[in-house]
Amino acid sequence: MPYATVYESCKADPEAFWMQAAEAISWDQKPSKALFADDAPLYEWFSDGMLNTCYNAVDRHVENGRGDQVAIIHDSPITDTITKITYAELQTRVASLAGALQAKGIEKGDRVIIYMPMIPEALDAMLACARIGAVHSVVFGGFAAAELAVRINDATPKAIIAASCGLEPGRVVHYKPLLDEAIEIATHKPDFCVIFQREQEVADLIKGRDFDWNNFQSETPDAKCVSVEGNHPAYILYTSGTTGAPKGVIRHTGGHLVALNWTMKNVYNVDPGDVFWAASDVGWVVGHSYICYGPLIHGNTTIVFEGKPVGTPDAGTFWRVIEQHKVRSFFTAPTAFRAVKREDPKGELVKDYDLSGLGQVFLAGERADPDTILWAEAKLRVPVIDHWWQTETGYAIAANPLGLQRLPVKLGSPAVPMPGFDVQILDDNGAEIAPGELGAIAIKLPLPPGCLPGLWNAPERFQSSYLETFPGFYETGDAGYKDEDGYLYIMSRTDDVINVAGHRLSTGAMEEVLASHKDVAECAVIGVADALKGQTPLGFLCLNAGVNRDHSEVVAECVALVREKIGPVAAFRTACVVERLPKTRSGKILRATMAAIADGLDYKMPATIDDPAILDEIEATLKGLGYPRN
């Protein structure tokens, strides 16, 4: 059906559209209606329906004859292993783990933190929580203990499920010591931990608190699926906000299932039984929606890939996986393709593989630069589709919905809004602005099913972060424009969030860490353009009077401190010492101007600048560091 017809039918009658989409989900009790608007501007979907996520993702497929179909392929070039798990096996694994959790007192609504690498047990753990109505919060393995501790304090989990270690190329990530340290720092303590021991590093268990994954489930009965309300939180996922404290995005069960299931065919163009691969990590929203829940709810085979685009063992890994497992739709970040392109610019390795089964590729997580899209299209000879979304929405706000209609591609644009998203470009006063003009990107409320209904433990922050700037709208935090055909262009963030290798990070959080260094009086962190990672963080440090040791020592300590406090994923490697920071007369640091200088872009001298001479000092310092680099 043409995209425009579908989009307009949803706009004209969202109730009918989403109730129809909800038919594809198995409900224990059907919802009486789709939208619940009594608390507007807070909205919920399918609140009075009853259902279970795990039943929809696993059990119903077994009941419907898909028991022998492979549900999960674990492909780990790092350990050189491939493991396949059928839907029937997945049901057994998940029911067993869920039963053990239940036997240890985990009940509907209890929080469980999951801290695991890219192994199928991570999905077992997510689905086991869903099976018994527990609310999981998965924490990405590249975060440091202190970040894990912040999430433990906020989510107050009764249990933590972790693995003994993760494997990065050439490096073992010691999950268990990180977990122990996080629990030590946290003020909230979990009742118990379940540890999956990997053979690459067997961790010491703390008696009475830690249980071995296998022993833990050896004598407990399997769990049945617990029916939950449509507005029961399926999970909490923390993401970077405008201050150091991460925001706990809540996802409600009913809308989550309905929306993800709708996208699998209409956006990603796969049918049940097809193999779908999102090369992300379960710690990110892409991993939640498109490694775990979306493909499984829809009866697809999903791939859990423990490797990197390059170096495991080479830049042909993606193509090997696509051929070997007959991937139909592939989803990755532009950074990953840039990494492959850097190693194999001519795409020689593509020729070694038969990619005839591949139908299309999707890119998200950061702006997809036209060069990368053109390179991928030329080498792979399939449509390469940019689509735009956020942790908050859980799925694409804008895309080229290949399963509905293949719209013309416009390079630099993630195409058009998906049904239910009324995307508008607003000026500072909240008025819609003309096509072609840059403004804040906002979405008219209500957001469609599956998007965040609120923030965990922070209802006021939810209002102030998203709903207050433009009453009646959700503020995306992105800036951009629409063209005459309604195609969107996502240009930058309006807050301090930067995007490093497709990972969303807060410069505010890095500044908080830098400011805690004893020699640092004041600091600023900006994102600068990077040919591989899109952006990388760059720190400016003003030191306390009297600090007369070598500045490079202080810089090295600051770099180490960010790694220790936030984690390696911050990729904070460069900082410089400056005398002064450029500020407005009211004392606001001019970060955007500094970023423009670092990137070699033209900029307007801010009218409110206190002392323009400081910009010359910044430019000279940056020049000394080799900026602009592109």
Contact set with ligand AMP (CB under 6 A): 239, 285, 364-368, 386-391, 414, 476-478, 490, 493, 499, 504
Binding mask 165-194 for ligand COA (x = CB under 6 A): -x-x----x---------------------
User: Is the bond preceding 459 in cis, omega lying within 30 degrees of 0?
Assistant: no
Q: Following DSSP, what letter does each residue of 200-264 receive, concatenated?
A: TBPPPPPTTTEEEHHHHTSSSPPPPPPPEETTSEEEEEEE--SSSSPEEEEEEHHHHHHHHHHHH
- In sequence order, which residues have a C-beta less than 8 Å from that of residue 189 and are 6 or more positions away? 183
Site mask, ligand COA, residues 520-559, x = CB under 6 A?
----------------------------------------
In the complex, the smallest distance separating the C-beta of residue 478 from ligand AMP, rounded to whole angstroms, is 5
Q: Least Å distance between CB 332 and ligand COA?
A: 6
Which H or E run contains 148? helix 145-155
Q: Which does 250 bind (CB under 5 to 8 A by kind): ligand AMP, ligand COA, none?
A: none
Q: How far is the CB of 398 from ligand AMP (least distance, A)?
A: 8
In the list ligand AMP, ligand COA, none, the entry touching 280 (Cβ below 5 to 8 angstroms by class) is ligand COA
102 near ligand COA, judged by CB under 6 A: no
Rounded CA-CA distance 320/353 in Å is 6
Residue 51 touches ligand COA, criterion: CB under 6 A: no
501 binds ligand COA (CB under 6 A): yes
Q: Residue 106 or residue 368: which is nearer to ligand AMP going by CB?
A: 368
- Residue 550's alpha-carbon distances to 409, 553, 557, 618, in angstroms, are 53, 6, 11, 20
* Token duo for residue 255: 């809308």
Taking the complex as a whole, the smallest distance from the CB of residue 584 to ligand AMP amounts, in Å, to 25
Angstrom distance (rounded) from CA 330 to CA 38: 40
User: In the complex with ligand AMP, which residue's Cβ is closer, 35 or 373?
Assistant: 373
Q: Which is nearer to ligand AMP, 327 or 490 (CB)?
A: 490
CA atoms of 57 and 123, how far apart (whole Å): 11
Is the Cα torsion angle 363, 365, 367, 369 positive or negative in sign?
negative
Distance CA 293, CA 212 (A): 26
Total Cβ atoms within 10 A of residue 437:
10
Task: Tell me the three state secondary structure of residue 555.
Answer: helix
Which of ligand COA, ligand AMP, none sits in contact with 55, Cβ below 5 to 8 A by type? none
Q: Does 609 bind ligand COA (CB under 6 A)?
A: no
- Closest distance of CB 218 from ligand AMP, Å: 38
Footprint of ligand COA on 348-387 (CB under 6 A): 364-365
Minimum distance, C-beta of residue 5 to ligand COA, in the bound complex (Å): 30
One residue of 569, 595, 597, 618 binding ligand COA per CB under 6 A: 569
Name the burial class of residue 126, with classes exposed (0-12), middle (13-18) and buried (19+) by CB atoms within 10 angstroms of its CB: buried
Separation of alpha carbons 496 and 525, rounded Å? 9
Chain residues binding ligand COA by CB under 6 A are 141-142, 166, 168, 173, 279-281, 284, 286, 308-310, 332-333, 335-336, 339, 364-365, 501-502, 568-569, 571
